[in-house]
């Protein structure tokens, strides 16, 4: 259990209430006092289990009371509860029959770190990317109305996720449907809230009360025949609410806004939700929570404690110290960004809410006037970069591969079509380990290389990443460097800025018979396989433009070409090689190794690569099998 855990003393004489809860129905007979105890026990178990397994941490601690209240008031899973992103869903998993399974969360064969429909009937919508909850919940609410079901639908969305345009698109639509939808805005960063005090709480109790809402609904019916009077009353209500609460924007969009209220006051949450559950209109409840609530280090550092690594036991005396790891690719990117910014004052760094994860913290501190965190707004990030490029600046967009998918139209329409000078540092390319399929960057080589004007590079080590970033920065058009999560093979990094010749690969090992064409971070595995079978190994470096001359040379001298990439096979770098050979009417056997045509579930990155046959043993085995079939076919030929 983490140190300094002194905030939640449990009353030992009591039988743990959490032991009595296998589904939310088990807690619906608890008294209010027992529910408060249950919340304390739930928080304690979350601290213990995440310390054992690792995983998302701070967000879950912040919604313990809210989770208890939602499952107590609403008849889940008949009533639908939709979590946004899922970082905060660990308490939900504990209360819905996965308490013991949480010990193996995000491990191979263990439960997912995010809500997942195939995992539990209580997980109504699978998530990983933010800001989808309101859209999905609205769809569920409309479906319930079409089927004439007495079903309530609740979406829980954080203040960060609310910054995405998709959330407001859904809110705007919901207001025109009169759907039976409750949106709970879990505000844990004070980015929206103000006036969180006695007066706001007092008015929130009034606005959520059954008496007030009965009068409100009756007034609507009476004034329906007098549109001008109805509009006047509506505006008066909005302005009164705006005096003590920040919800005027939601009122203007057509939601009945309630709040803000203390999201850790369980009795208040229970009373408010019970009052709101039967309203037949879109309602937004604004709750104020504290990320990391109940664990002081997480409260003081919510970013650092967003997730925890597994707490390892202390090594035995005399155990040799672990070999220090080299820098992560994210740090290589961040160091290069600072060095480049020193050399060129045109550089502007952009990230959609991934400053720390993308290695941009030092840049944000050293060059704050040239750093822009645009929040969870990937589409805006790219078009914002395009606007900067139009005016002679050099924008560098740091973005996860899986999140770049959300801005594909902007990539094509706003950047590539206009041939604008934007560099993309694409992080978390390929499989990403424990975060699983929702966060895997499995498709970027396929969806980037088909876009005109793009240059696409895939470094095989840390120094290649630095050189490619500089190459892409110097290129006068859209360019992308894609690199994986975590550390590389430990190659020394040259401090000097050195560009690569555009579209040129390099031979790393000379062999016979088989040529392995590696694209990106799997070079170490490709070299190991090449050593075992005496194959030629080429580091292709560029997916686009492809080194066609090198491909032609390798095809002329080898009986089998093998492409290796940490990307789906379909449409990927290997497909580019086959397309070129077909255009040149070159007939040579070719084997494409990459990610299969299915989503790879969470495990360690090494385990995921082994499952896909992309470790050294898998590459070697696939080549031997293909050679065996080729040679058997030749022997059988007349």
DSSP-assigned beta bridge partners for residue 186 = 158, 287
Q: Could you tell me the pLDDT band of residue 251, with boundaries at 50, 70 and 90?
A: confident
Q: What is the pLDDT of residues 533-542, one digit of tens each?
A: 999 999 999 9
The SS3 call for residue 627 is: helix
φ and ψ at residue 318, rounded to 5 degrees = 90, -5
Please state the rounded mean pLDDT for residues 142-162: 94
Between CA 625 and CA 615 the distance in angstroms is 15
Provide the annotated active-site residues. 291, 378, 406
Please state the rounded mean pLDDT for residues 164-190: 89
Identify the residue whose tokens are 């002679």: 392
DSSP H or E run through 235: helix 227-244
DSSP H or E run through 286: strand 283-288
Instruction: Say if residues 565 and 613 touch (Cβ distance below 8 Å).
Output: no
Asked whether residue 244 carries a pLDDT value surpassing 70, the answer given is no
Report the sign of the C-alpha dihedral through residues 128, 134, 139, 144, in that order.
positive
Between CA 462 and CA 591 the distance in angstroms is 27
Between CA 401 and CA 424 the distance in angstroms is 10
Concatenating the DSSP letter of every residue in 59-77 gives: HHHHTHHHHHHHHHHS-TT
Between CA 572 and CA 429 the distance in angstroms is 13
Between CA 200 and CA 203 the distance in angstroms is 5
Minimum mean pLDDT among 121-135, 249-263, 312-326, 615-629: which range?
312-326
pLDDT at residue 631, rounded to an integer: 83
Determine the distance from the C-alpha atom of residue 14 to the mean position of all C-alpha atoms in its chain, rounded to a whole number: 40
Between CA 114 and CA 125 the distance in angstroms is 10
Instruction: Say if residues 499 and 477 touch (Cβ distance below 8 Å).
Output: no
The residue that leads in pLDDT, 345 or 248, is 345
The SS3 call for residue 430 is: strand
pLDDT at residue 632, rounded to an integer: 82
DSSP H or E run through 506: strand 506-509
Residue 596 structure tokens? 């299969």
Between CA 500 and CA 317 the distance in angstroms is 48
Peptide bond into 76 cis (omega under 30): no
| % residues pLDDT > 90 (the chain) | 71
Q: What is the pLDDT of residues 202-240, one digit of tens each?
A: 444 544 556 655 655 555 555 555 665 555 555 555 444
């Amino acid at each position: 259990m983490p140190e300094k855990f002194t905030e939640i003393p449990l009353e030992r004489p009591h039988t743990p209430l959490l032991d009595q809860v296998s589904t939310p129905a088990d807690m619906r007979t608890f008294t209010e006092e027992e529910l408060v105890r249950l919340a304390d026990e739930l928080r304690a178990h979350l601290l213990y289990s995440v310390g054992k397994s690792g995983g998302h941490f701070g967000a879950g601690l912040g919604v313990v009371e809210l989770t208890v209240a939602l499952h107590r008031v609403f008849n889940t899973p008949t009533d639908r509860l939709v979590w946004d992103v899922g970082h905060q869903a660990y308490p939900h998993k504990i209360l819905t029959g996965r308490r013991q399974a949480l010990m193996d969360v995000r491990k191979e064969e263990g439960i997912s770190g995010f809500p997942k429909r195939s995992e539990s009937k209580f997980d109504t919508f699978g998530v990983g990317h933010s800001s989808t909850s309101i859209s999905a919940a609205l769809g569920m609410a409309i479906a319930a109305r079409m089927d004439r079901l007495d079903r309530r639908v609740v979406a829980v969305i954080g203040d960060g996720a609310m910054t995405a345009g998709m959330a407001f698109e859904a809110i705007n639509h919901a207001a025109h449907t009169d759907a039976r939808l409750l949106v709970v805005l879990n505000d844990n960063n004070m980015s929206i809230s103000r006036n969180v005090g006695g007066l706001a709480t007092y008015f929130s109790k009034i606005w959520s009360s059954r008496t007030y809402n009965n009068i409100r609904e009756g007034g609507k019916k009476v004034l329906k025949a007098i549109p001008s009077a109805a509009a006047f009353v509506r505006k008066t209500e909005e302005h009164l609410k705006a005096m003590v609460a920040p919800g005027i924007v939601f009122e203007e969009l057509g939601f009945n806004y309630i709040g803000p209220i203390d999201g850790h006051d369980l009795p208040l949450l229970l009373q408010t939700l019970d009052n709101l559950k039967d309203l037949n209109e879109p309602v937004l409840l604004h709750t104020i929570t504290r990320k990391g609530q109940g664990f002081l280090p997480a409260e003081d550092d919510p970013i650092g404690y967003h997730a925890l690594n597994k707490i390892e036991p202390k090594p035995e005396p005399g155990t040799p110290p672990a070999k220090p790891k080299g820098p992560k690719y994210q740090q290589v990117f961040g160091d290069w960004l600072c060095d480049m910014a020193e050399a060129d004052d045109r550089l502007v760094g952009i990230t959609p809410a991934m400053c720390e994860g993308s290695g941009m913290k030092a840049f944000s501190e050293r060059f704050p006037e040239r750093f822009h965190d645009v929040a969870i707004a990937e589409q805006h990030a790219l078009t914002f970069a395009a606007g900067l490029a139009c005016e002679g600046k050099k924008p560098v967009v740091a973005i996860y591969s899986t999140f770049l998918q959300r801005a594909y139209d902007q990539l094509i329409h706003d950047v590539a079509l206009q041939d604008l000078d934007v560099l993309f540092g694409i992080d978390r390319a390929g499989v990403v380990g424990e975060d699983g399929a929702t966060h895997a960057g499995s498709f970027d080589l396929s969806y980037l290389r088909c876009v005109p004007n793009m240059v696409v590079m895939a470094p095989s080590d840390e120094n290649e990443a630095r050189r490619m970033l500089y190459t892409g920065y110097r290129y006068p058009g859209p360019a992308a460097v894609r690199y994986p999560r975590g550390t590389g093979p430990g190659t020394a990094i040259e401090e000097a800025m050195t560009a690569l010749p555009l579209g040129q690969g390099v031979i790393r090992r000379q062999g016979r018979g088989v040529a392995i064409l590696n694209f990106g971070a799997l070079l170490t595995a490709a070299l190991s396989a090449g050593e075992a079978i005496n194959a030629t190994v080429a580091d292709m470096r560029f997916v686009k433009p492809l080194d066609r001359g090198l491909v032609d040379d390798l095809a002329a001298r080898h009986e089998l070409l093998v492409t290796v990439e940490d990307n789906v096979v379909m449409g990927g770098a290997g497909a580019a090689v086959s397309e070129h050979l077909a255009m040149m009417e070159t007939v040579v056997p070719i084997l494409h190794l990459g990610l299969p045509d299915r989503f790879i579930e969470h495990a360690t990155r090494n385990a995921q690569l082994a499952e896909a046959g992309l470790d050294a043993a898998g590459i070697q085995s696939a080549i031997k099998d293909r050679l065996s079939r080729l040679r058997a076919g030749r022997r059988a030929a007349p």
